[in-house]
């Protein structure tokens, strides 16, 4: 009978420890989940900012190209030629 009581007491102690670990891990999981959500929001925000900056950069490049600086004349010609090739491809596809 005594062994049964000791085993029950030991089992109860182990159960309490497991319960404490469970509560701790549950709280830690909630904290980490909140952190993940916060980091995902930051990532989305930074991605949007990056896209805006890239768009602004492309517009600035186009503006500089149109401006006609000597450095970008060649680049402008290459872009125009590339656009003409794309238009030609579209015309060929439309005429098929």
Q: How far apart are CA 1 and CA 8, in angstroms?
A: 11
Q: Give the integer Cα–Cα distance in Å for 38 and 81.
A: 46
For residue 50, what pLDDT is reported? 94
The number of folded domains in the chain is 1
Q: Which domain holds residue 15?
A: 2-95
DSSP code per residue over 45-60: HHHHHHHHHHHHHHHH
Per-residue pLDDT in tens (0 to 9) along the chain, 96 residues: 788 888 888 999 999 999 999 999 999 999 999 999 999 999 999 999 999 999 888 888 777 766 665 666 777 778 788 888 988 888 888 887
Give pTM, 2 decimals.
0.52
Residue 4's pLDDT is 85
Can you give the pLDDT at residue 71?
60
Query: In terms of DSSP H, where are the helices of the chain?
Result: 2-67, 73-95
Tell me what pLDDT residue 15 has.
93
């Amino acid at each position: 009978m005594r062994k049964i009581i000791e085993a029950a007491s030991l089992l109860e102690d182990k159960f309490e420890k497991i319960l404490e670990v469970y509560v701790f891990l549950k709280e830690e999981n909630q904290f980490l989940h909140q952190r993940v959500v916060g980091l995902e929001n930051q990532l989305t925000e930074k991605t949007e900012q990056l896209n805006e900056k890239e768009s602004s950069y492309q517009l600035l490049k186009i503006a500089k190209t149109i401006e006609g600086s000597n450095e970008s004349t060649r680049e402008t010609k290459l872009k125009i030629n590339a656009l003409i090739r794309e238009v030609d491809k579209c015309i060929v596809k439309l005429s098929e």
